[in-house]
Amino acid sequence: MAVVIDHNHGFKPLAQLPKCRLQSYSHFDPNMHDFTQNITRTSNITTNLHKSYSTPCLSLATKAKEEFESPNPRVEIISGRKAPKVHALVAEVAIALASGVKPTPVSSGLGGAYYLQSRKGNTIAVVKPADEEPLALNNPKGFAGRMLGQPGMKRSIRVGETGLRELAAYLLDHGGFAGVPPSALVKISHVLFNVNKNMGLESNPTYKITSVQRYVEHETDAGDLGPSRFSVCSVHRIGILDIRLLNLDRHAGNMLVKNFYGSYVAGAAELVPIDHGFCLPESLDDPYFEWLHWPQASMPFSETEADYISKLDPFKDAELLRTELPLIRECSVRVFILCTIFLKQASSAGLSLADIGEMMTRVFIGGEERLSNLETICVNAKANMDMEITSDASDEIKESDEMFVFDKVFEDGFNQKEGLPTHSASVKPAKMVKSSSEGARIKLRDARLARLVQETDNKDGRGPAPILRSASFAVHNKNHNTGVCVSFEEMKEDEWSSFLEYFEGLLPEAFEQKQNTNLLKQRLGYSCEF
């Protein structure tokens, strides 16, 4: 098969593959409930790329007949084609597959991942099929059984959707600020990947939806070195990205170390973040930040970093996600908006990366998991919004009651002979107004409480315990042993806008309390001598 290289894309020679460790996903959530929604809506997705003799094996076929008749490997970009460096990456992948290169399975990790090498043997990309993710039906490592769209390793992130989030992290890393490798979501046809025969599948599918990331040359990962080796800039930039995306799984194994070469100079090594499949959850879940207690995280942001944060536009980025990745649910987009606003306000208030990360992370007190400061602020913001709605409704009811009482008094107490109203003791207008408005307020309160309270299983199994729940602000039961997840999935657009106003109004007080707590810790630390 003849292949012509697109000279506009070009190649960049890569060094030989060193030792690479792709760590497994951490913090497995064993208690997950089934969903019936399936997201395998890929047959309608097409790509309008320019096709010419200089394009290497990029499939632009729009007819299913061509797709099945041609036995040659094909690579079609589904999402990410507008992102920089994506076309060059996909072109290299297409050339490698057309040259007969077979994907090499990665032994580490819980999901199906493959190295893809060039004809010269250099590793150029990492490919991760959606149906081979942990718990997906074609997972090659024994962690199979769920359908696409059901809850995955994290309840707030569904099986088959981590590839979307890999691309989202790359799209949102403006200017390569944190160094996220180029990523894309592609359809690869006529290439053998893993298929579990025991799942009722008799043959290999014609194509698979996969994420593809540029392979990053590195010496090791952060798990092999102490944090003192890493530069402050690298830690801060990765931390800023993790906070924006609410990364649930930032561990040492998915921070690759570059420019180390065995040097023991403190702060010389640079970090490259990879594996962002567990970011942008559908609810405010509990994140894991490996860098949270590193000394670099407690240092203030540099002028460049503070300027970058101040220029972030969460609503513009949200539109980018909706446009480029329409399969990502709106509740995940809203979590991103919320976390970006939180980051911007916290940075303006002078908080450090460690301060912000601590406010977003849940704590364990007395063996119980408690909501993070961020989640508590959200709950309070919704409560304030509900209180104003209730107050406005009560005022309207009171006004209508007063009008009703006046009409009643005028009708019943009118003296036909003198033409004047009489204020007899039997009418008692003031008492009637109070009783009517108070009764309406009680009914309204009881109605809202009935809508807010949801019965859920208690931890000890002795019986149901009430959890606040709203039709527009869900507090979901995460599992039987640990806390809850705050979600914005059911909020209407006007409620969401109103909620953001209350949320931003509560942030200054929360940040001031955090600063006061830090001062108290410093004073206690200075006063203790051993």
The alpha carbon of 17 is separated from its chain's Cα centroid by a whole number of angstroms, namely: 31
Nearest-angstrom CA–CA distance, 323 and 316: 11
Nearest-angstrom CA–CA distance, 328 and 208: 19
Residue whose token pair is 């024994």: 142
pLDDT of 395 reads 58
- Cα→Cα distances 235→217, 272, 341, 359, 446, Å: 19, 10, 21, 18, 50
End-to-end CA distance of the chain: 76
Nearest-angstrom CA–CA distance, 34 and 102: 35
Asked if residue 215 lies in contact with residue 125, where contact means CB atoms within 8 angstroms, the answer is yes
Look at residues 188, 193, 207, 208 and name the one whose alpha carbon lies nearest to residue 57.
188
Nearest-angstrom CA–CA distance, 16 and 21: 15
Nearest-angstrom CA–CA distance, 363 and 290: 15
Look at residues 274, 279, 285 and name the one whose alpha carbon lies nearest to residue 244.
279
pLDDT of 474 reads 62
Nearest-angstrom CA–CA distance, 163 and 94: 19
Nearest-angstrom CA–CA distance, 302 and 305: 5
Tokens of 371: 């909501």
Asked if residue 139 lies in contact with residue 133, where contact means CB atoms within 8 angstroms, the answer is yes
Nearest-angstrom CA–CA distance, 371 and 55: 52
Dihedral Cα 301, 305, 310, 315, nearest 10 deg: -120
Three-class secondary structure of residue 179 per DSSP:
coil
pLDDT of 211 reads 96
CB proximity list for 54: less than 8 A, separation 6 or greater = 4, 5, 6, 7, 8
Q: Which amino acid is at 143?
A: F
pLDDT of 68 reads 46
Our CA angle for 289, 292, 296, nearest 5°, is 130
For the packed helices 330-348 and 493-527, what is the interaxial angle rounded to 10 degrees? 40
Q: Which residues of the chain have pLDDT under 50?
A: 1-65, 67-68, 402-472, 478-483, 527-530
Tell me, yes or no, if the pTM score tops 0.85: no
Asked if residue 80 lies in contact with residue 171, where contact means CB atoms within 8 angstroms, the answer is yes
Look at residues 381, 85, 359, 21 and name the one whose alpha carbon lies nearest to residue 222.
21
Could you say which DSSP state residue 25 is in? P
Nearest-angstrom CA–CA distance, 136 and 148: 7
- Cα→Cα distances 62→46, 208, 491, 493, Å: 7, 16, 38, 36
pLDDT of 457 reads 38
Nearest-angstrom CA–CA distance, 373 and 514: 10
Three-class secondary structure of residue 18 per DSSP:
coil
CB proximity list for 387: less than 8 A, separation 6 or greater = none
Asked if residue 46 lies in contact with residue 75, where contact means CB atoms within 8 angstroms, the answer is no
Asked if residue 411 lies in contact with residue 528, where contact means CB atoms within 8 angstroms, the answer is no
pLDDT of 399 reads 52
Asked if residue 101 lies in contact with residue 75, where contact means CB atoms within 8 angstroms, the answer is no
Look at residues 150, 218, 167 and name the one whose alpha carbon lies nearest to residue 14.
218
- Cα→Cα distances 182→73, 177, 230, 238, 325, Å: 22, 12, 23, 16, 16
Three-class secondary structure of residue 230 per DSSP:
strand
Sign of CA dihedral 271, 274, 278, 284: positive
Nearest-angstrom CA–CA distance, 58 and 66: 13
Write the DSSP assignment of 40-92 as a string of letters: ---TT--------TTS-SB----SHHHHHH--S-EEEEEE-TTSTTHHHHHHH
pLDDT of 523 reads 72
Tokens of 315: 């609503």
Nearest-angstrom CA–CA distance, 259 and 219: 8
- Cα→Cα distances 152→149, 284, 506, Å: 8, 16, 33
Q: Where are the alpha helices (DSSP H) in 361-489?
A: 373-412, 429-452
